[in-house]
Structure 1
Amino acid sequence: MQAVIMAGGKGTRLRPLTVNIPKPIVPIVDAPMMEHTIKLLKKHGVRDIMVTVSYLGDKIEKFFGDGSRYGVSIIYSHEEEPLGTAGGVKLLEEQIDDTFIVMSGDVLTDIDITRLVRT
């Protein structure tokens, strides 16, 4: 299974906090928001992650790198202008070759991904 994490938004509702920090890197408890998502995906066996980035995307890519420190593989899709969920996934269609899940890089959840995909 693969995952697409949408991380291209500007985070305007969290301003001024997100003026220089993209929302997926904003710390929640002990880790950046998107790190919680990556750990959840790994817990459910997802090791192939694609991240769509736009606003301050270089900071997201620099922080999370290739994903090796989390035990996953991360590649990035750079959008000049945010394309929304469908547009971001469309850009990745050649990399998607399996069942995949789309998640937001700025939402915390404990959803049972394994159960979700089975049903």
Structure 2
Amino acid sequence: MEFNVSQIDEVKILAMLADRLDAGNAEEFKSVIAPHLGQGGKVVLDISKLVFVDSSGLGAILSCLRKLTQARGDLKLCGMSKQVRLLFELVRMHRIVDVYNTSAEAVAAFED
């Protein structure tokens, strides 16, 4: 699993390159993203390429949020497809993780 990593001021942006996050790659996702979360800080996870997520994928994202929260950081998501957003709303994850349309909006939300 690969990510494009960039930074704007104090905010790290991780753009996921995979189109699926499911039982087949959730553990790989967590192990690859873990080094970016351990120090805490402000992180935006860009999932605009993602077209499918299952319960394992949702759990992996929650695991990232938990890890960041423990390190006194924060996670915001951006770029959700309509299909993925519907799933997030169905399981009410949009109430747990802040979701934005673009990475610029997510980065700006950290300034509020």
Normalised by the shorter chain, which TM-score bucket?
A: 0.3 to 0.5
TM-score under structure 1 length normalisation: 0.45
Look at both structures and tell me which one has the larger radius of gyration over its CA atoms.
1
Structure ranking higher in helix proportion: 2
TM-score under structure 2 length normalisation: 0.48
